[in-house]
Amino acid sequence: MAVPEITAIIPVYNDRPALEHAIPESLRVLSTITEHFEVIVAEDGSSDGSAELVQEYETKSTFVKLLHCDSRQGRGKALNRAIQQSQGSIVCYYDVDLATDMQHLPELIDAIRKGADISTGSRLLPESDIRRTEGREIASRTYNFLVRLMLGSRIFDHQCGFKAFNKAKILPVLSTVRSDHWFWDTELLVRAQLKGYKVTEFPVRWRAGKGTTVRMKDVLGMGLSILRLWWQIHVSKN
């Protein structure tokens, strides 16, 4: 098998039902973009048979790989580990529920091919087509406004789980990211912009996954994460 041009990473924690659709759909869409790709399922201590399902696909397809962890380490750590072990010169990841329409994957990859260091889908641009509850919409817009205000980011949507990277450029940034879980996306984008990286953001069609909710502790946690990163950048200088 030739060295992959593209590595697609799917972070997973107890997501077997969603994986049953995400894996074949990933193989279908990626095969229209390049002949040389791999799909890494970054399985983070699941107990619902997610790992066993990926193992079944591994026996049937040379494109699918399982990256298993015995205990949960957090989404950010799982993505870090998968990116470091990826073989593609272009690395992308997306949420297992495929909330962002996979029709956008060629555009995501093409932005890196054309010279962007990072490309990311956005639910908050005027052309974006999204469906979610009013509570989630307000929380998202408030959060992203605060990131732009306090951390100087030029991105409108930091948390959309649909991103691609030039692997060679992103590896030095990964070593500076401290977040283990959901704030990982935001911290990576902020630190990359501070290094002068070129980030391409484009509108996407996005539908909220089943069972997703906004909890007050999540909102507070993200707010504290913004303050923590501000302190690291402006006070402790790291």
Catalytic residue among 44, 117, 157, 185: 185
Judge residue 34's burial from the number of C-beta atoms within 10 Å of its C-beta, 0-12 exposed, 13-18 middle, 19 or more buried. Answer: middle
Distance, CA of 18 to CA of 20 (rounded, Å): 5
Please, what is the Cα angle at 77 between 142 and 35, to 5 degrees? 95
Active site residue 44: no
Q: Is 2 left (phi over 0), alpha (psi -120 to 50) or beta?
A: beta
Residue 178 to residue 162: CA distance in whole angstroms: 20
Give the residue numbers marked as catalytic.
Answer: 185
